[in-house]
Structure 1
Amino acid sequence: MTWLADTATSYDTVAESYAEFVSDALDRQPYLKAALTLFAAQVDGPVLDAGCGPGHFTAYLASLGVDAAGIDLSPGMVGLARRAHPELRFEVGSMTDLALPDASVAGVLASWSLIHVPDEAVPVALEQFHRVLRPGGLLAVGYHVGAGTRLKTQGYGGHPMKVNVHLRQPWWLARRVRDAGFRVEAEWLLDPEAEVSQAILFARSQG
């Protein structure tokens, strides 16, 4: 699929600059940090960080005692994550085809990684999350709130990129999460005064 290759190549290109940009993300965003802390407190078992980037959120979950591992489409990002956090597990992989057994994890975190997944492929990713989660497992999805899609041609550090950024309404995502076999438990809106707000959805896997 073209979008998979474009996403991997784009984030390979900006990997170093992106890692620097997000290095203090949790210090800058206390409500996001609180959401991840809550997620960690609600899971009992291994967690997959799907679209882990340089592993900053994976490492934070691990610091809270979570058995966290990450996957990312970008080999460059995975390489950075492994070097920064050699004690953790990171692999190249796609959330639309997870190389994990059924019911093998207690939590899945998808932090602003579904934003590059086209609408028609979102149900595929959500079905994969449901497949690998144990019954009652927790899913957390961070995303951009809005409508429409924009092509991102330049990214972190001014490097060239070619990825679509999909903005989504909470009702749109919640409906697809429910259709994939989850029960939505909470939705947090972050920075509602921003030009593009952020949100986090929490949902439980139904057996």
Structure 2
Amino acid sequence: MTEPSYLTAVRESYDTVAADYVRLVKEPAELDPVSRAMLAAFAELARPLGPVADLGCGPGKVTAHLAGLGVPVFGVDVSPRMIELARAAYPELRFTVGSMTALEVGSGELGGILAYYTTHHTPPQWLPTVFAEFHRTLAPGGRLMLAGHVGNGEHLRPTRAYGDHPVSYESHLLPPDRIGELLQQAGLVVTTRVVQEPEDGVKRQAGTFLAYKPR
């Protein structure tokens, strides 16, 4: 399959900002209590089910956090520079370059998938493809946690980010109900949905979904 054009912008942008991203983005232990609790809940659900893929892992901070909770996790990211930084920081873990639109994972191989603040860069018309890959690669009973920015359908085109570097990616802030619908249409069962309102300097709503693939 030909790579979607939006992935080029995402790859080039995160290659550009990678070093400052590591410096500026919070460690998982510094996240708000609700976010930490959702990651802990996902870890407990997915830990006994088999390998877990952290998709859009960036420099590996959340991947390492899950590993510290006993999860057999590996990271995947479209940015080669992010993967380089992740491998350097956490040499005991596995990190690979890849895309959520076409995962190099066999059908039914994963006990869990974490998509943590990654899918908002995916144009809405591509989300069914991404969510179909989640369904394909999860084992029956496998767990998904998807978290990210949500909104009322806003389409954002930032020009600079993370240390004032130029970026060309876009962000698509879908309503939580629409994300839930798309997950269900992909054959995943949503069990939990949490929407957090902006506070403490955070500019946008955040939505977190827990789901599973039926047996």
TM range (shorter): over 0.9
Structure 1 residue 118: Cα displacement: 0.5
* Residue ranges of structure 1 left out of the alignment (5+ in a row): none
Deviates more, 1:37-46 or 1:9-18: 37-46
Percent of residue pairs bearing the same amino acid type: 39
Aligned 8 A contact 1:26 1:32 in 2? no
Does 1:187 find its partner at 2:190?
A: no
Write the deviation string for residues 88-141 of structure 1: whole angstroms up to 9, x where unpaired: 000000000000011101100000110100001101010001111011111111
1-structure distance, mates of 2:146, 2:55: 10
Structure 1 residue 25: Cα displacement: 4.4
Aligned 8 A contact 2:51 2:73 in 1? yes
Does 1:88 find its partner at 2:93?
A: yes
RMSD: 1.2
* Mapping for residues 1-207 of structure 1, pairs under 5 Å: 1-43=4-46, 44=48, 45-147=50-152, 148-193=154-199, 195-207=203-215
1-structure distance, mates of 2:197, 2:28: 14
Structure with the higher strand share, 1 or 2: 1
SS at match of 2:91: coil
* Structure 1 length-normalised TM: 0.96
2-structure distance, mates of 1:195, 1:50: 24
Q: Name the count of aligned residue pairs.
A: 207
Letter in 1 for 2:179: L
Letter in 1 for 2:80: P
* Residue ranges of structure 2 left out of the alignment (5+ in a row): none
Letter in 2 for 1:18: Y
Aligned 8 A contact 2:11 2:78 in 1? yes
